[in-house]
């Protein structure tokens, strides 16, 4: 039995970060200011707080300016909208990220739609989404773009490959499918109502799992030699009483003997998400300064 390879997302993310740091230095030298990222965190969700902290640290590490806005869970829609408008108008801010999900009483879509598309480093505004659907240049959601970069690094040209995206979320599934389509894959989007999910997945040369169900996709469903990107980050109870660990949407133990390559969780897509956020912030800074996009990213 041959075992597939684990894709080292952390190592690839480190390479992306190095290139971003170079681009940041060049931008700062030519513009006399650093690119800036503003992150808005509403509420006290501990997992979100951890992600926001690692984004903050990475932003500073790569030489950019980081602005953090922590607001209580009971913030009103109006106050949150005012904050976003303020950031839209702040010349030091090139990228705006509102950490999702927001507390239930807030209208997430209205907040996202207010973000200036030129500062939309999450790629979630209708303008960014529309550009992606049209195949035009623009800011692309971080997790899907990071996943595509890993696939292209692993497989080279993706033309003609059968890709199945499992999950249809706005943040991951839908933009992932668009990116794969733009890369000339034959794309299927599967979801909770899909019939014979195992059979659909078995057709795929590329599987992107983004459903948010721990270890749901089993090895036997995967076509031998397929490449698998596991986007899932699910916290489950660990063996040790009271502790938790994170697992993906793919049952790696059974999948590893079927795949050519698979991303682990943690250490796969997660680190790429943050690296691409940094890249998108650098891109947004260039866009706002009227400079061409930096090369090699
Ligand atoms: N507007 C918005 N944009 C986002 O991009 C966004 C968001 N909201 N809300 C929450 C999710 C989650 N997310 C992650 C980022 C990095 C890791 C990451 O670095 N994970 C590491 C460590 C995981 C761990 O140990 O907890 C890994 O997979 O190796 C994970 C998850 C971004 N998100």
CA dist 222 and 164 (Å) reads: 11
Give the model's confidence band at 166: pLDDT under 50 very low, under 70 low, under 90 confident, else very high: very high
Is 157 an annotated catalytic residue? no
Ligand 1 pocket list (CB less than 6 A): 51, 54, 97-100, 122, 142, 233, 246, 265-267, 270-271, 273-274
CA dist 259 and 43 (Å) reads: 40
Is-contact 158 152, C-beta < 8 A? yes
Adjacency order of strands within the sheet including 5-6? 5-6, 261-262, 227-230, 206-209, 162-166, 186-190
Give the model's confidence band at 105: pLDDT under 50 very low, under 70 low, under 90 confident, else very high: very high
Residues 42-57: what's their mean pLDDT?
94
Cβ atoms within 10 Å, residue 85: 13
Residue with CA at minimum distance from ligand 1 atom 4: 99
Residues 94-111: what's their mean pLDDT?
97
User: Residue 240 has what pLDDT?
Assistant: 93
Instruction: Give the domain ranges of the chain.
Output: 31-117, 142-271
- Residue 222 assigned ligand-binding role: no
User: Residue 115 has what pLDDT?
Assistant: 98
CA dist 170 and 120 (Å) reads: 14
Q: pLDDT by residue (tens digit) across 2-36?
A: 899 999 999 999 999 999 999 999 999 999 999 99
How far, in Å, is the centroid of ligand 1 from the Cα of 113? 22
Residue 210 has pLDDT above 80, yes or no: yes
How far, in Å, is the centroid of ligand 1 from the Cα of 290? 30
**Top CATH class, 31-117:** alpha beta
Residue 1 has pLDDT above 90, yes or no: no
| Residue in 99, 118, 119, 161 annotated catalytic | 99
Q: pLDDT by residue (tens digit) across 223-247?
A: 999 999 999 999 999 999 999 999 9
Residue with CA at minimum distance from ligand 1 atom 3: 99
User: Residue 271 has what pLDDT?
Assistant: 98
Residue with CA at minimum distance from ligand 1 atom 12: 51
Query: Is there a common fold for 31-117 and 142-271?
Result: yes
User: Residue 259 has what pLDDT?
Assistant: 98
Residues 132-160: what's their mean pLDDT?
97
**Top CATH class, 142-271:** alpha beta
User: Residue 296 has what pLDDT?
Assistant: 86
Give the mutation target among 14, 16, 266, 267 for probing the ligand 1 site: most ligand atoms within 8 A of CB: 266
Q: Which residue, among 229, 218, 206, 224, has the nearest Cα to 255 in the 3D structure?
A: 218
Residue 56 has pLDDT above 90, yes or no: yes
162-166/234-237 β-pairing: unpaired
Residue 295 has pLDDT above 90, yes or no: no
Give the mutation target among 14, 48, 51 for probing the ligand 1 site: most ligand atoms within 8 A of CB: 51
Give the mutation target among 59, 233, 263 for probing the ligand 1 site: most ligand atoms within 8 A of CB: 233
ipTM of the complex: 0.94
- Residue 169 assigned ligand-binding role: yes
Cβ atoms within 10 Å, residue 276: 28
Residue 294 has pLDDT above 80, yes or no: yes
* Mean pLDDT of the residues in the chain: 97
Q: Which residue, among 243, 238, 245, 236, has the nearest Cα to 267 in the 3D structure?
A: 245
User: Residue 239 has what pLDDT?
Assistant: 93
User: Residue 49 has what pLDDT?
Assistant: 94
């Amino acid at each position: 039995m041959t075992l597939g390879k684990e894709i080292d997302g952390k190592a690839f993310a480190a390479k992306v970060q190095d290139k971003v740091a170079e681009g940041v230095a060049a931008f700062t030298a030519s513009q006399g200011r650093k690119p800036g990222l503003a992150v808005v965190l509403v509420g006290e969700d501990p997992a979100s707080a951890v992600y926001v902290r690692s984004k903050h640290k990475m932003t500073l590490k790569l030489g950019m300016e980081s602005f953090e806005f922590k607001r209580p869970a009971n913030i009103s829609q109006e106050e949150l909208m005012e904050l976003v408008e303020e950031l839209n108008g702040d010349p030091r801010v090139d990228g705006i990220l509102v950490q999702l999900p927001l507390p239930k009483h807030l209208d997430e879509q209205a907040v996202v739609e207010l973000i200036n598309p030129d500062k939309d480093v999450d790629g979630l505004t209708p303008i960014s989404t529309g550009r992606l659907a049209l195949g035009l240049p623009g800011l692309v959601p971080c997790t899907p773009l990071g996943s595509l970069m890993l696939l292209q690094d692993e497989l080279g040209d993706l033309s003609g490959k059968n890709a199945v995206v499992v999950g249809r979320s706005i943040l991951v599934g839908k933009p992932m499918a668009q990116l794969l389509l733009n890369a000339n894959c034959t794309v299927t989007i599967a979801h909770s109502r899909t019939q014979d999910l195992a059979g659909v997945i078995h057709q795929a040369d590329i599987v992107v799992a983004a459903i948010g169900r721990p270890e749901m996709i089993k090895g036997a469903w995967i076509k031998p030699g397929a490449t698998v990107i596991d986007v899932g980050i699910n916290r489950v109870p660990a063996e040790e009483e009271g502790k938790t660990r994170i697992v993906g949407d793919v049952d790696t133990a059974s999948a590893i003997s079927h795949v050519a390559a698979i991303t682990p969780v943690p250490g796969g897509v997660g680190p790429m998400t943050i690296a691409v956020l940094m890249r998108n912030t650098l891109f947004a800074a260039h866009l706002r300064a009227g400079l061409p996009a930096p090369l090699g990213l």
